Structure 1
Amino acid sequence: MKIIKTLSLIFLTLLIPNAVIAQNDNEAKALVKEVLDKVESYDNFVIDFTYSLENKEQNMNQETRGDVSIKDEKYVLNLMGTTQIFDGEDIYTIVPEDDEVTISSYDEANNEQITPSKMLTFYQDGYRFKMDLLQDVKGRKIQYVELIPMDSNNEMKKILLGIDKQTKHIYNLIQIQPDNTKIEFRVTKFKTNEPLSAKHFQFERSKYADYYINELD
């Protein structure tokens, strides 16, 4: 699912390593490092979010809600009636509407598969960081950092990362595409160190006995 791929990319912006922000605007570098350090201090985190897509010229305006839980390399993403689980080895995409589960092994060389480590590579490949606007959003001070692609053929014109200056958590992330389509991910709830069970990031096949299991490998 393209939306799941885009959202995985957005969520994992939280895990940008120091190497990514080297040789960029020093103030932006320091702020993003604060976000990184804070996120790395958590055992896990759970995010509720809204995802919107807008293109005024094409009269397009869509919005949906979802949630994601992340621990190290593992994640569970719920969006548009679909659940995607990555247990560290395999990716499970569960579509109740079709009574189908698709299972694929994670392949580090496959650019279509999304994991936190793959997203780190994405941001190392040609983005510069600089400070942007500071905005007051319902009493919260949101500092934006602009990510500028070095490659003119990049599918993104620019990316704006909104950071809550008080909590040092991500407030939102906005992607602007060359055709001026705007994709926004906005955090509505950010919970940390949740009491997630040992099975939370595991696919339990017995729950889907009536589903068609499509094993790609």
Structure 2
Amino acid sequence: MKPRILIVILALLAVSSATAQQPEKAKALLDEVYDKVRGYDNIFVDFKFELNNTEANVRQETRGDLTLQGEKYVLNYMGAQQLYDGDKVYTVVPENEEVTIEDKSDDPGTVSPSRMLTFYREGHNYAWDVLQNVQGRKIQYVKLTPIDSDSDIRSILLGIDVETKHIYRLIETGSNGTKTTITVNSFKTDQPLSKSLFTFDEQKFTDDGYYIIRN
């Protein structure tokens, strides 16, 4: 499971006329978001995920949550759990009673959960977009366009809470017209975490009869 929330994580998100100051203004706001995120010891995000492809008549909606501490993470999404302990990625699928163990992808095009709140810093052009009022919150959108012309992503809109500098929503439009929206329901920081949260207990799953797959 390679959630693109990211992408496709949470990635969490139309266009005003461009001026010479827009890219710099947009980048400055994203830099504020990055500095804010990097200042936390850990982050917990509860999110809603929506996928919509009108042409194919496909619509999906689900929720998930993500706990981040540095590069380590635990992601619960679509009935499965993915854990990265800093060395290996473990994907647990209870429905199939399977655990997949693999190395973290080094593909720069893959937005892993540990990068879902910072992926925008590389590989995109920026533009200042619309300002929305969401239940009294001012959400400023920044449009990201991939520099790579062969990207399967057409554009990403990042909605940023002007006051907290936290990402509120991510709207990704694919080259095939598929629109993926991730909305942050809850954003908590510096929570007390169990020391074993990012530790995978293989013996526990073996004892429970899970099939272990090593890639």
- Pairwise same-fold verdict (TM > 0.5): yes
Do the aligned residues in 1 keep the contact of 2:111 with 2:119 (CA within 8 Å)? no
Higher alpha-carbon deviation: 88-97 or 150-159: 150-159
Partner of 1:184: 181
Provide closer, same or farther for how the CA distance between residues 186 and 113 of structure 1 changes in structure 2, counting only shifts above 3 A: closer
Aligned to 1:137: 134
Q: Distance in 2 between matches of 1:160 and 1:118?
A: 14
How far apart, CA to CA, are the structure 2 residues paired with 1:175 and 1:64? Answer: 16
Work out whether residues 36 and 165 of structure 2, in 8 Å CA contact, stay in contact via their aligned partners in 1: yes
Match of 1:25, SS? Answer: helix
Offset of residue 110 of structure 1 = 8.5
Name the Cα RMSD after superposition: 2.6
Q: In structure 2, what is the Cα distance between the partners aligned to 1:37 and 1:112?
A: 22
Give CA deviations for 1:51-71 in whole Å, capped at 9, x if unaligned.
100122222211000000001
- In structure 2, the partner of 1:96 is 94
Contact 1:155/1:177 (<8 A) preserved: yes
The equivalent residue for 1:193 is 190
Q: For residues 10 and 106 of structure 1, do their structure 2 counterparts lie closer, same or farther at Cα, with a shift above 3 Å needed?
A: same
Matches within 5 A, 1:45-124: 45-106=43-104, 108=106, 114=112, 116=114, 124=122
Kindly provide the amino acid, as one letter, of the partner of residue 193 in structure 1: D
Structure holding more helix per residue: 1
| 1:72-95 alpha-carbon deviations (Å, 9 max, x no partner) | 010100011100000000010001
Change (3 A) 1:197 1:43: same
Distance 1:175 1:108 in 2: 22
Rounded to whole Å, the distance in 2 between the matches of 1:33 and 1:110 is: 20
For 1:145 and 1:11, the matched residues in 2 are separated by 16
Q: Could you tell me how far 1:144 is from its partner in structure 2?
A: 0.2
Give TM-score scaled by structure 1 length.
0.85
3-state SS of 2:191 partner: coil
- Give yes or no for contact 2:10–2:47 (8 Å, CA) kept in 1: no
Change (3 A) 1:119 1:169: closer
Residue 215 (structure 1) aligns with: 214
| Alpha-carbon distance, 1:197 to partner | 1.2
Greater relative contact order (Cα < 8 A, sep 6+) = 2
* Counterpart for residue 11 of structure 1: 9
Find the counterpart in structure 1 of residue 165 from structure 2. Answer: 168
Alignment partners' CA distance in 1, 2:142 and 2:110: 27
Give the match for residue 19 of structure 1: none
Partner residue, 1:128: 125
Query: In the alignment, which of 125, 139, 151 is matched to residue 148 of structure 2?
Result: 151
TM-score when normalising by structure 2:
0.85
| % identical aligned pairs | 44
Instruction: Flag structure 2 segments of 5+ consecutive residues without an equivalent.
Output: 13-20
Aligned length: 205
Asked whether the equivalents of residues 12 and 116 of structure 1 are also in contact (C-alpha less than 8 Å), the reply is no
